[in-house]
Amino acid sequence: MPAEPSLDDLRRYAVARSLFTPTTLLGAIQRLGFVQADPIRAPARAQDLTLRHRVKDYRVGDLERRYESLAIEEDCLINYGFLPREHLALMHPRQAARPWDAENARKAADILAFVHERGAVHPREVEEHFAHGRVKNYWGGSSNASTHLLDGMHYRGLLRVRRRDSGIRVYEAVSHPPSDDSPEGGTQRAAALIDLVVRKYAPLPAASLTYLVRLLRYGAPHLSSQIREALRVDRGQLASCCINGTTWYWPADENPRSHRYTVDERLRLLSPFDPVVWDRRRFELLWGWRYKFEAYTPPAQRQFGYYALPMLWRGHVIGWANVSVREGRLEPVFGYAAGKAPGGAEFRSALDEELQRMAQFFTAR
């Protein structure tokens, strides 16, 4: 019987399987399965910060510039982001958990006819034509009602994002092939969705696996019961081990102790939403300290900073950096879990090389 992995094995496995050899933009998105999006630019958006480590010669904004030419989509999975187009069939046609009332359904039908007529529309065009006014948004403020309706239509699969103009989504009409609505078809899609998130975030502590699968209700609310049942079945099909009272799961066809999972010597500043650090529960178990995303924390209460980028070196997350760009120059401020930076020339050299790579990332083609 093969030996069970140690926590060191899981640490190395978590890093090496996610930070694969840089490839093409489409290849990286296919390998990741899903890239979380976030609008904050500090110093760049999360999707760009995630892809720069995994795409050859990546520059800030490449995803937005090349989006139309690639077989990818902006859509929802566990949250909002970018995913290979073939994954849409696992979630669409999507049935929202809260159906529209008659008035909003009528407005959406009118907008859809307008989009069909125009081919592609900017939210400003929709507002100028329909003048829907304002609505209360999720955060308690007010938002443009037309934009709110377009978001809902996109979520329900009536529209897709064709491109972005200065960061604003431009929509076109879309239709999704009918799905297999049989119990077997729903079960198969639910199992495939679970496999997708497990392969993205493995190894997963048991509590994190349950949490991630619960988040799939965002991408496929109409499959909630099948997803719960598929998780019950899939737990027995995943590989697992117990370390210090925590059960860990990963795909059955992978071996965390394999020599194929090797960690390189690069120092990397990661997005707060990078798959290596996204799961805060796993983060603390693997690296022994608690990292927090504090963009929405009052400044006086911040420990790490507005948009702290976790610092990964030699398979350990040892600290963080807040990086701003002023007049084309990077201005980093560092913090360390141990209270001070590692000593020695190797660390200083690795940090300098990462800052040089980040500066290149901001250089226009």
Q: What whole-number distance in Å separates Cα of residue 86 and Cα of residue 218?
A: 18
At 143, the pLDDT band (50, 70, 90 cuts) reads: low
Give burial (CB, 10 Å; 0-12/13-18/19+) of 131. Answer: exposed
pLDDT > 70 in the chain, percent: 96
Q: What confidence tens digit (pLDDT) does each residue in 36-91 have?
A: 999 999 999 999 999 999 999 999 999 999 999 999 999 999 999 999 999 999 99
pLDDT > 90 in the chain, percent: 86
Q: Which of 196, 351, 202, 361 is nearest to 276 (CA)?
A: 202
How many helices (DSSP H) and strands (DSSP E) are in the chain?
Answer: 12, 14
Neighbours of 189 (CB within 10 A): 21
At 138, the pLDDT band (50, 70, 90 cuts) reads: very low
Separation of CA 231 from chain center = 21
Tell me, what DSSP letter sits at residue 190? H
Q: What whole-number distance in Å separates Cα of residue 93 and Cα of residue 361?
A: 37
| DSSP per-residue string spanning 271-316 | -TT-TTT--HHHHHHHHSS-----TTS-GGG-SS-TT-EEEEETTE
Listed in sequence order, the residues at least 6 apart from 170 whose beta carbon sits closer than 8 Å to its beta carbon are 120, 121, 122, 161, 162, 163, 164
Neighbours of 214 (CB within 10 A): 14
Question: So what's the architecture of 102-173 in CATH?
Answer: Orthogonal Bundle (1.10)
Residue ranges, comma separated, of all CATH 1.10.10 domains in the chain are: 102-173
The answer to whether 111 touches 149, Cβ cutoff 8 Å, is yes
**Prior bond of 272 cis (ω within 30°):** no
Q: What confidence tens digit (pLDDT) does each residue in 213-245 have?
A: 999 999 999 999 999 999 988 888 999 999 999
pTM value?
0.93
Q: What confidence tens digit (pLDDT) does each residue in 152-199 have?
A: 999 999 999 999 998 999 999 999 998 888 989 999 999 999 999 999
Question: Rounded mean pLDDT of the chain?
Answer: 93
Q: Is 29 helix (H, G, I), strand (E, B) or coil?
A: helix
The answer to whether 329 touches 362, Cβ cutoff 8 Å, is no
Q: Which of 355, 81, 360, 109 is nearest to 215 (CA)?
A: 81
